């Protein structure tokens, strides 16, 4: 069983899916129907508890994590083999008989002592969380103030015809440095307190639980940090640091609508513009600072799509070719990659924290997003992207009930009304996604390319059919369905030179110079482009390139097919 657990863990890690993501994929895909275990049960089963009786679950996990059907079949066979090996061995040892819980005064006193210690550490954690959030907000405000004052100083200086001065800059920079140092100190205190809380949580659990995986009637589920730390912050803020631990409610609570610091519901404040919503303004400024031109997020969205398409193994190049489960996973992949690319911290209740504010992320390929009831009052980053249009957008919205449609789905989620869509504060709008040739070529041309029998033949046909078109490594991977797509492009350069076709590589400085001399579009590093050439007649005033001492120009429809000299082969 240990080998099977390791196999499923490796498969899940390669797919970049957490247990929460996997549970959502299994739920939306419907592979297990009513037999889908709860999220906490799925955690235990993937750790090996009761997994020997869950062949259907094992096969569903592999199907959700592995898009390549051929590889998925092989992995299923391996997993089933491990299950058979587990069944062929002796039965697992029977866990020792549970003794009745101790009821003597000493045991109860020790348990109460441990629980009191846990409550104390949780109070300290709440205080550290509040201090860290306030320090993060102060650092963000200081950064914004420094930028604004420096810009105003430059504008004022230019208005009176003087050079901009930086006399106030050292003082402002010192203030910013102090705020950042305060934030770092608060975050270190937070991490230390979280470690103490994790250690303290293990003590009462050890007193009330039987062996791992057992459902002992005395077991108590302790609240997690993510679920109720906001309640502790509110309790500490309301009662002060000297509050009696016995007065605080330690029970786990269901998810509620997101609330700001101090427990004030943001949906009650009815902010409409960044000028009146400090949190929204902070997040807008920070997102623009992290990615002012949108290049980082655009690359992240494109990379998430290419990861799920897996062109090397599937030959796919359009998001419409993804399965239903993979399309669901696209939103999760985009969110995780944006967080890693921009270095955003995890949120306590929502997806992540930006400039000290909790922010959720919603993704759509269409023109609307769906919001669950618990997001009312919270901030949401809205991502819209579609490779068919080749564009993506990023906006920010304070979710409010009056911005929602009246109808909802079975989960209570509602989309934005027309008023809600007009309330979005766009950070980047209709930005082009990175171009890929296969998405833009006519369908009959793509069919002709993929009709070729081998990866090399398809690569040759791609450069013949898509001349003057930038070819990316993703295009080469889909066409060749091989890991060495770039090598096939280099081979195509030599093969097509005999037909008068020059294949240029943007990584090569000589090729970029030839493209410029011929008046071709500029080549980005890592992209390829092909063009048919013909010998240039004397006194030709058009752009030419000299190959082995002979001038060549871009071929015209009536020019004969002429092999290129050896200089164009390498």
Q: Is the pLDDT of residue 159 over 90?
A: no
Helices (H), 66-214: 69-88, 105-159, 169-208
Average pLDDT value for residue range 341-353? 92
Q: What's the pLDDT at 27? A: 78
Q: At a CB cut-off of 8 Å and minimum separation 6, what does 516 contact?
A: 522
Q: Comparing 73 with 259, which gets the higher pLDDT?
A: 73
How close are the terminal C-alpha atoms of the chain, in Å?
54
Stretch among 79-83, 96-100, 399-403 having the lowest mean pLDDT = 96-100
Q: At a CB cut-off of 8 Å and minimum separation 6, what does 246 contact?
A: 119
Cα distance between residue 477 and residue 440, in whole Å: 16
Percentage of the chain modeled with pLDDT above 70: 67
Closest to 492 (Cα-Cα) out of 481, 483, 505, 482:
505
Residue 244, judged by CB atoms within 10 A of its CB (0-12, 13-18, 19+), counts as exposed
Which tens digits make up the pLDDT trace of 396-446? 999 999 999 988 888 889 999 999 999 999 999 999 999 899 988 999 999
Cα distance between residue 529 and residue 462, in whole Å: 10
Q: Comparing 438 with 23, which gets the higher pLDDT?
A: 438
Interstrand relation of 545-547 and 528-535 (parallel, antiparallel or unpaired): unpaired
Cα distance between residue 192 and residue 290, in whole Å: 28
Cα distance between residue 16 and residue 5, in whole Å: 17
Cα distance between residue 279 and residue 310, in whole Å: 39
Supply the DSSP symbol for 373. Answer: G
Judged by DSSP in three states, 216 sits in coil
Q: Is the pLDDT of residue 227 over 70?
A: no
User: Are 391 and 400 a contacting pair, CB within 8 Å?
Assistant: no
Q: How many beta carbons lie within 10 A of that of residue 305, not counting itself?
A: 24
Which tens digits make up the pLDDT trace of 358-407? 999 999 998 889 999 999 999 999 999 999 889 999 999 999 999 999 88
Cα distance between residue 333 and residue 518, in whole Å: 41
Which tens digits make up the pLDDT trace of 206-225? 443 433 333 333 333 323 33
What values do phi and psi take at 386, rounded to 5? Answer: -155, 125
Arithmetic mean of pLDDT over the chain = 76
Cα distance between residue 468 and residue 531, in whole Å: 6
Supply the DSSP symbol for 425. Answer: E
Average pLDDT value for residue range 261-266? 33
Average pLDDT value for residue range 533-551? 87
Q: Comparing 270 with 568, which gets the higher pLDDT?
A: 568
User: Are 72 and 63 a contacting pair, CB within 8 Å?
Assistant: yes
Helices (H), 209-250: 225-239
Residue 354 to residues 137, 193, 283, 342, Cα–Cα distance (Å): 9, 22, 6, 10
Q: What's the pLDDT at 379? A: 95
Percentage of the chain modeled with pLDDT above 90: 40
Which tens digits make up the pLDDT trace of 442-485? 999 999 999 999 999 999 999 999 999 999 999 999 999 988 88
- Residue 265, strand partner residues: 259
């Amino acid at each position: 069983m240990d080998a099977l657990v390791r196999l499923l863990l490796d498969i899940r890690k390669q797919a970049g899916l957490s247990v929460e993501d996997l549970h959502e994929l299994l739920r939306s895909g419907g592979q297990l129907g009513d037999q889908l275990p709860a999220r906490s049960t799925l955690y235990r089963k993937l750790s090996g508890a009761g997994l020997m009786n869950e062949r259907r679950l094992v096969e569903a996990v592999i199907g959700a994590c592995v898009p390549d059907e051929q590889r998925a079949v092989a992995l299923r066979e391996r997993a089933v083999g491990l299950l058979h090996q587990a069944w062929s061995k002796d039965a697992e040892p029977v866990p020792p008989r549970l003794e009745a819980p101790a009821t003597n005064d000493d045991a109860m006193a020790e348990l109460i002592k441990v629980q009191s210690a846990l409550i104390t550490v949780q109070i300290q954690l709440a205080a550290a969380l509040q201090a860290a959030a306030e320090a993060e907000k102060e650092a963000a405000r200081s950064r914004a103030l420094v930028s604004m004052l420096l810009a105003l100083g430059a504008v004022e200086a230019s208005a009176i015809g003087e050079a901009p001065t930086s006399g106030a800059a050292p003082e402002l920079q010192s203030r910013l440095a102090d705020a950042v140092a305060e934030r770092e100190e608060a975050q270190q205190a937070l991490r230390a307190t979280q470690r103490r809380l994790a250690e303290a949580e293990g003590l009462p659990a050890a007193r009330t639980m039987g062996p791992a995986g057992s459902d002992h009637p005395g077991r108590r589920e302790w609240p997690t940090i993510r679920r109720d730390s906001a309640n502790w912050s509110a309790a500490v803020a309301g009662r002060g640091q000297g509050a009696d631990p016995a007065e605080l409610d330690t029970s786990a609570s269901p998810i509620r609508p997101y609330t700001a610091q101090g427990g004030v519901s943001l949906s009650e404040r009815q902010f409409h513009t960044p000028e009146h919503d400090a949190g929204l303004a902070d997040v807008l400024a920070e997102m623009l600072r992290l990615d002012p031109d949108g290049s980082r997020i655009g690359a992240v969205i494109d990379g998430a799509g290419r990861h799920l398409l897996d062109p090397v193994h599937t030959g796919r190049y359009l998001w419409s070719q993804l399965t239903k489960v993979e399309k669901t996973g696209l939103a999760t992949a985009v969110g995780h990659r944006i967080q890693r690319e921009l270095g955003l911290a995890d949120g306590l209740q929502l997806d992540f924290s930006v400039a000290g504010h909790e922010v959720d992320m919603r993704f759509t390929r269409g023109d609307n997003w769906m919001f669950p009831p618990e997001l009312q009052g919270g901030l949401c980053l809205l991502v819209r992207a579609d490779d068919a249009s080749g564009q993506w957008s990023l906006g920010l919205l304070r979710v409010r009930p009056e911005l929602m449609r009246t109808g909802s789905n079975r989960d209570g989620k509602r989309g934005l009304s027309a008023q809600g869509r007009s309330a979005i504060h766009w950070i980047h709008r209709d930005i082009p996604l990175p171009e890929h040739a296969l998405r833009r070529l006519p369908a009959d041309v793509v069919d002709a390319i993929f009709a070729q029998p081998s990866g090399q033949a398809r690569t040759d046909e791609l450069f013949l059919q898509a001349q003057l078109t930038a070819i990316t490594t993703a295009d080469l991977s889909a066409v060749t369905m091989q890991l060495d797509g770039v090598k096939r492009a280099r081979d195509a350069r030599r093969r097509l030179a005999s037909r008068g076709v020059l294949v240029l590589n943007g990584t090569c400085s000589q090729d970029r110079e030839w493209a410029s001399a011929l008046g071709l579009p500029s080549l980005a590093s890592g992209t390829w482009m092909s063009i048919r050439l013909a010998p240039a007649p004397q006194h030709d005033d058009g752009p030419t390139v000299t190959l082995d001492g002979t001038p060549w120009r871009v071929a015209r429809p009536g020019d004969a097919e002429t092999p290129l000299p050896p200089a164009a082969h390498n």
